Structure 1
Amino acid sequence: MSDTNYGELTRNGLWTNNPALVQLLGLCPLLAVTGSVVNALGLGLATILVLVGSNLSVSLIRNAVTDAIKLPAFVMIIAAFTTCAELLMKAYTFELYQILGIFIPLIVTNCAILGRADAFACKNPVLPSLIDGLMMGLGFTLVLVLVGGIRELLGSGTLFADMHLLVGEMGRSWKLSIHSDYPGFLVAILPPGAFLVTGFLIALKNVIDSRAEQRRKARLAASDTPKSSRRVRTTGVID
């Protein structure tokens, strides 16, 4: 597909067709593990790995599988990359893996990943499929981190706490605290807080999109308005 618009793929993944805010896919891990930035980032990176790997593999075999075995083959590919992500986390970020628990293996059932494999990767060449998987994964991860940051800040009064679980000892100095005696806002780190924060983010995106559409229509209306006829002023009369 030589006419692939990579800019459009990027916009779709990050904003226009964001898996979490528009497609509303993968909400179970989004709501369950976003109590802090480190949890959200850990799950997001694992999801990116699986999305990119599965899109690449599905694109490579797209002409070799029939419709009868297509979905089982896709699930097996996604499961294989999920296992790779799980083993990597066990090896390098074991404490974070224990915190995330069952939600790492459950990446296999994330509808966003299977959806991209079936809707895009099985119909397009390797490079567009890679870009699509990367951008969709980044869009999902950005929402995860944003929800996790808001919930951590409101619930605990901190930001980037326990980052050493993901990036090593240097992450201990990344922790930010808004106040040493912050009492905490418990509902923010409980499941209802996840629903509230996600709902506000979806509403905010809808407002931004609506205003952008209004501005676009206003510009089109202004450009379609015929220019007023120019008046010719006479400066004198010659007999």
Structure 2
Amino acid sequence: MASYREIAANGLWKNNPGLVQLLGLCPLLGTSNSTVNALGLGLATALVLACSNAAVSLIRNAVTPAVRLPAFVMIIAALTTCIELLMQAFTYELYQILGIFIPLITTNCIILGRAEAFAAKNNVARASFDGVMMGIGFGLVLVAIGAVRELFGTGALFANMHLLFGPQAADWQITFIQDYKGFLLAILPPGAFIVLGLLIALKNRIDHAMAERAKVEEPETPTPSRRVRVTGVIE
């Protein structure tokens, strides 16, 4: 069984769902045109992922293989409905902006994939921790894309954060360029593909550099010397 450190490393970096598995690209690219949208969807996905992993782990020995997949989908759909109702109650304006992407959490490949590949084979603690780490990893990628697109598209960061955190977050916006004309490509769907591609390239470059450094720092194993005894007969 994987250790908690390995689970965290896989979710945040080595097997990140957004940069390595390339799952959930539809919400990843569709809602990441601003930081608040990305953060809202990232938190909702992480909550569903953690809770569904825990629930699937609890019932993993009680369901037969024939009904396992429908049972997993029902659990995920029920949790998504709960998150949707909470967002309608407390962050209604953000819920309206995210629109169909909230119900579509039910069909997110990340959630169903982790339920089948990990939660159904591990105990509740490990399954929940895996869900949290995968959710955080996915959310970080979402927020990174949203921040880059918002910065280049509008010249500001953290606009409209009151939609998620209430009136006290109304003055969180940071404007870097006054009277910025805007960069339309950044906030359009092609901008999301470009930023995601750059993030994947950056991760691959960092992994390559770390692998090269590990090779350099790895101590060479000395070759044991062998003493050969030669005997012969001279005629």
Q: Same fold (TM over 0.5)?
A: yes
Report Cα offsets for 1:181-237 as digits up to 9, x if no partner.
1111110000000000000000000000011111112222x433569xxxxxxxxxx
Does residue 44 (structure 1) correspond to residue 42 (structure 2)? The answer is: yes
- In the superposition, relative to structure 1, how do residues 63 and 224 fare at CA in structure 2: closer, same or farther (>3 Å)? same
Q: CA deviation at 1:178?
A: 0.7
Q: 2:119 aligns with which of 118, 121, 126?
A: 121
Aligned to 1:82: 80
Aligned to 2:6: 8
Q: 2:149 aligns with which of 148, 151, 161?
A: 151
- The whole-number CA distance in structure 2 between the counterparts of 1:141 and 1:65 is 31
Question: Where in structure 2 are the equivalents of 1:99-138 lying within 5 Å?
Answer: 99-138=97-136
Q: 2:208 aligns with which of 207, 210, 213?
A: 210
Q: CA deviation at 1:64?
A: 0.3
RMSD of aligned residue pairs (Cα, Å)? 1.2
Aligned to 1:223: 220
Aligned to 2:230: none
- The whole-number CA distance in structure 1 between the counterparts of 2:65 and 2:5 is 30
Question: Where in structure 2 are the equivalents of 1:62-101 lying within 5 Å?
Answer: 62-101=60-99
Q: Counterpart amino acid of 1:28?
A: C
Q: CA deviation at 1:77?
A: 0.4
Aligned to 1:237: none
- The whole-number CA distance in structure 1 between the counterparts of 2:196 and 2:177 is 25
Q: CA deviation at 1:4?
A: 4.5
Aligned to 2:184: 186
- The whole-number CA distance in structure 2 between the counterparts of 1:92 and 1:4 is 37
Share of identical aligned residues, percent?
64
Aligned to 1:233: none
Aligned to 2:232: none
How many correspondences in the alignment? 224
- The whole-number CA distance in structure 2 between the counterparts of 1:4 and 1:142 is 23
- The whole-number CA distance in structure 1 between the counterparts of 2:202 and 2:169 is 31
Q: 1:177 aligns with which of 170, 175, 186?
A: 175
Q: Counterpart amino acid of 1:14?
A: L
Q: Counterpart amino acid of 1:174?
A: W
Unaligned runs of 5+ in 1: 228-239
Aligned to 2:163: 165
Aligned to 2:33: 35
Q: Find the residue that maps to 2:171 and give its secondary structure.
A: helix
Give the 4+ runs in structure 1 shifted more than 4 A: none
TM-score (norm 1): 0.92
Report Cα offsets for 1:82-134 as digits up to 9, x if no partner.
00110000000000000000000000110000000000000000000010000
Q: Counterpart amino acid of 2:197?
A: G
